[in-house]
């Protein structure tokens, strides 16, 4: 009779282990839907992945854009009463028409860049070189390497970054970059501020809250 007790204890232990395993499995099952899919490893897969993510994000942002008829309503434009009124309008309108202003800034900046192809090309080349070197540096971090190979020649990352900085500075000077930057700021930030100050806020518009 005494030999039956250890068997019961062992069986109880096994049952408890099975229950623990079942509970763990159920918890894992509930956690799986919250896992985020990783980006594909192939180049084509990465392009498709980031393209799809960009398109979906753009659609979500465009859905938040206010009606353009309301945005350009002539009856809603009037000079502000003073500095406090200007700041109040700026605060409320930027909060309410935030996505419209983003589109306006992008359109204005794109127009200026199209009118200055030399600056746009140099800017694009600088950004692409910086992206390429940064990608190679991330790949070399696994092997603790301080250089990469380009056209059968070893180049250190310090040399590459120095070249990119020099190229960007010289191209900025030769392409009259200061003037282009001025028009970029004016066509984006200037338009946004002018519209936000001149348009009368409606009752729906609420100012920014930093609390």
Q: What is the pLDDT of residue 23?
A: 45
Over residues 103-148, the pLDDT tens digits come to 999 999 999 999 999 999 999 999 999 999 999 998 888 888 888 8
CB 61, CB 99: distance < 8 Å = yes
CB 57, CB 180: distance < 8 Å = no
Q: What residue ranges do the domains of the chain occupy?
A: 68-198
Q: What is the pLDDT of residue 53?
A: 75
Q: Three-class SS of residue 199?
A: strand
Q: Put residue 209 in one of left, alpha, beta given phi > 0 → left and psi -120 to 50 → alpha.
A: beta
Q: What are phi and psi of 149, to 5 degrees?
A: -105, 130
Cβ count within 10 A of residue 19 = 10
Q: What is the pLDDT of residue 30?
A: 44
Q: What is the pLDDT of residue 40?
A: 66
Q: Three-class SS of residue 18?
A: helix
Arithmetic mean of pLDDT over the chain: 79
Q: What is the pLDDT of residue 204?
A: 53
Q: What is the pLDDT of residue 28?
A: 45
- In terms of DSSP H, where are the helices of the chain? 4-31, 43-62, 68-71, 83-96, 98-115, 117-140, 157-174, 177-185, 191-198
Q: What is the pLDDT of residue 90?
A: 92
Element (H, E) at 148: strand 147-149
pLDDT < 70: residue spans in the chain: 1-41, 43, 46, 203-211
């Amino acid at each position: 009779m005494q030999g039956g007790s250890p068997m019961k204890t062992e069986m109880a232990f096994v049952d408890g282990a099975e229950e623990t395993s079942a509970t763990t499995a159920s918890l894992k099952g509930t956690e799986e839907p919250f896992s985020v899919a990783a980006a594909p490893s192939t180049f084509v897969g990465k392009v498709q992945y980031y393209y799809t993510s960009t398109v979906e994000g753009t659609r979500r942002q465009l859905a938040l854009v206010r009606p353009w008829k309301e945005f350009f309503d002539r009856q809603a434009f009037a000079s502000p009463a003073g500095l406090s009124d200007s700041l109040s309008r700026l605060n409320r309108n930027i909060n309410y028409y935030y996505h419209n202003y983003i589109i306006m800034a992008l359109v204005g900046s794109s127009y200026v860049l199209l009118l200055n192809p030399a600056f746009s090309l140099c800017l694009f080349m600088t950004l692409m070189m910086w992206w390429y070197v940064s990608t190679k540096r991330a790949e070399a971090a696994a092997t603790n390497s301080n250089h990469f190979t380009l056209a059968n020649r070893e180049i250190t990352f310090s040399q590459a970054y120095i070249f990119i900085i020099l190229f960007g500075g010289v191209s900025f000077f030769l392409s009259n970059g200061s003037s282009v930057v001025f028009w970029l700021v004016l066509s984006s930030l200037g338009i946004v501020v002018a519209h936000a100050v001149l348009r009368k806020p409606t009752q729906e518009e609420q100012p920014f809250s930093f609390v």
